[in-house]
Structure 1
Amino acid sequence: MDTRRIITHVRGALVIGALGMVTVLGGCGGAGGGAAATTPTEAAATAAAAVHTRLAEALAEVNPRLSRQITAATSDLNEVSVPGMLQGWEVFEIVRIDNPHIPTSIVAIDGADRAVVLSGHPERFATLTEGGVQVDTPEAALDLVGFFLRTTRDTSRLVYPIATVDDLRWPTRLNADQTSIKEDAIARLREQIASPSTTETSSGWTITSWTGDQDTVVRHETTVSKDGAVTDAATTIAEGLPLQRALGG
């Protein structure tokens, strides 16, 4: 899933929090003291500040802690690419820049500035599809499921999609016992884990996919109806593995 960073600190300008304030670093004004034309960098900074303001205000009642976090300029925003059938919604990852140990939050916001915190709350995903959306191809169903699993995952845990056993994230150093567990797991899981597959049903599709989740491997059977309803059934197929528990671990 593609992401696009919403710049909070850019060369030539500093965006201050979510207050929509931009302080330009460097000289200003042209010959004769007239106002200088807005540069692309300044325009980008102003746009970034506007996004911060909008998201902070939308979260003020839904999640005051996240709203304060954005207002205090302690976070970067990464825009998440949204499937075409979810027109009208934007999704952002809120990443703490002052404390990387605090989990990322994933928030959706619509054109009416209604905010929904998705991370860790798969039951809230229905808000994005209420009223019905059109999922008319297996490719669209696959895209929607990938988006669902990414945006509703528990971000306090290291959760990531896998399409082969080689996608599992192992620490660089393992002791003898851990190495033995790793080798046994790879041999056992190699024929089970595969790229996501789609099976058509009477009401839509079922997508089979896998994720690594801390020390476990999880198989997902995710159903998608043609009006966009998503239901996930997760089964742990391996546990107690000496996998990475944090990025860079």
Structure 2
Amino acid sequence: MKDQIATALEDVSPSIARAVRAEGTTATSVDAAALGDWQVVDVLSREGAHPQRWFMGVKGEGSEVVVLSGFPERWSRVAEGAQVTSADQAVELATVRADATRDMTKGYTRIEAVDDIRFLPKPSPEQTDRIAAITRDHDVAPAKATGQGPWEVRLWTVTDGDLVRHDVRVATDGSITDTPEVVERDLPVPVAR
């Protein structure tokens, strides 16, 4: 699959095509049962000083490739032909889209509980109080869909040190509307470099 992806990207992004072809690069399909002719692929290149990662939409055996990372507006292309038929598929698609279209230049972790937040190992007394308040005030839970289609899915992320609640609407055709809200800024977490 790497060769097909690289070939499709040669004219659009020669640097990404080279990274995809490199020996240390892996391409792993991501589960997204509701997608039609498209699949989402997690591409990780370990070449060079710093690993690089992209999520891509791949149609068929690579006849078309769309780089999704940092481009949430491209999701509609990958969702062509999708059929979301259950709440479980809605959750799966919402989480795949959140991970795949995120800005790879920002720190990002999708979380299912406040305990998933990697707080500073030795917080100050003020930071300890803030961590306790965050734990008490925010009901962070695993993604769950409500409705019968379209579905409403709530996701949580830590993005560039902020706690973000995502209220996501997943339609039966795979189209997704994400309404993110920063609920806590500047969490006491290690600074990503």
Q: With structure 1 as the length reference, what TM-score do the two structures score?
A: 0.69
2:152 is the alignment partner of 1:206: yes
Aligned-pair Cα RMSD in Å: 2.2
Of 71, 89, 93, 1:121 maps to 71
Identify unmatched segments of 5+ residues in structure 1: 1-50
| Aligned-residue offset at 1:154 | 1.5
- Whichever residue aligns with residue 143 of structure 2, its letter is P
Closer, same or farther: CA 178–75 of 1 in aligned 2, 3 Å: farther
- Whichever residue aligns with residue 165 of structure 2, its letter is R
State whether residues 79 and 90 of structure 1, in contact with CA within 8 Å, keep that contact through their aligned partners in structure 2.
no
Instruction: State the distance in 1 between where 2:108 and 2:152 align.
Output: 21
2:186 is the alignment partner of 1:186: no
Partner residue in 2 for 1:70: 20
More deviation, 82-91/52-61 = 82-91
Identify unmatched segments of 5+ residues in structure 2: none
Instruction: State the distance in 2 between where 1:245 and 1:234 align.
Output: 22
| Superposed counterparts of 1:125-140, under 5 Å | 125-130=75-80, 132-140=81-89
State whether residues 118 and 189 of structure 2, in contact with CA within 8 Å, keep that contact through their aligned partners in structure 1.
yes
Instruction: State the distance in 2 between where 1:245 and 1:197 align.
Output: 30
- Whichever residue aligns with residue 146 of structure 2, its letter is T
| Superposed counterparts of 1:26-175, under 5 Å | 51-71=1-21, 73=22, 75-99=24-48, 101=50, 103-111=52-60, 113-130=63-80, 132-175=81-124
Partner residue in 2 for 1:27: none
SS state at 2:164 partner: strand
- Whichever residue aligns with residue 124 of structure 1, its letter is R
Instruction: State the distance in 2 between where 1:163 and 1:182 align.
Output: 16
SS state at 1:86 partner: coil
Partner residue in 2 for 1:222: 168
Alignment coverage as a number of residue pairs: 192
State whether residues 36 and 83 of structure 2, in contact with CA within 8 Å, keep that contact through their aligned partners in structure 1.
no
Of 178, 184, 195, 2:142 maps to 195
- Whichever residue aligns with residue 137 of structure 1, its letter is S
| Aligned-residue offset at 1:212 | 1.3
State which structure, 1 or 2, has the greater radius of gyration over its C-alpha atoms: 1
More deviation, 207-216/170-179 = 170-179
Q: With structure 2 as the length reference, what TM-score do the two structures score?
A: 0.87
| Aligned-residue offset at 1:151 | 0.9
- Whichever residue aligns with residue 98 of structure 2, its letter is L
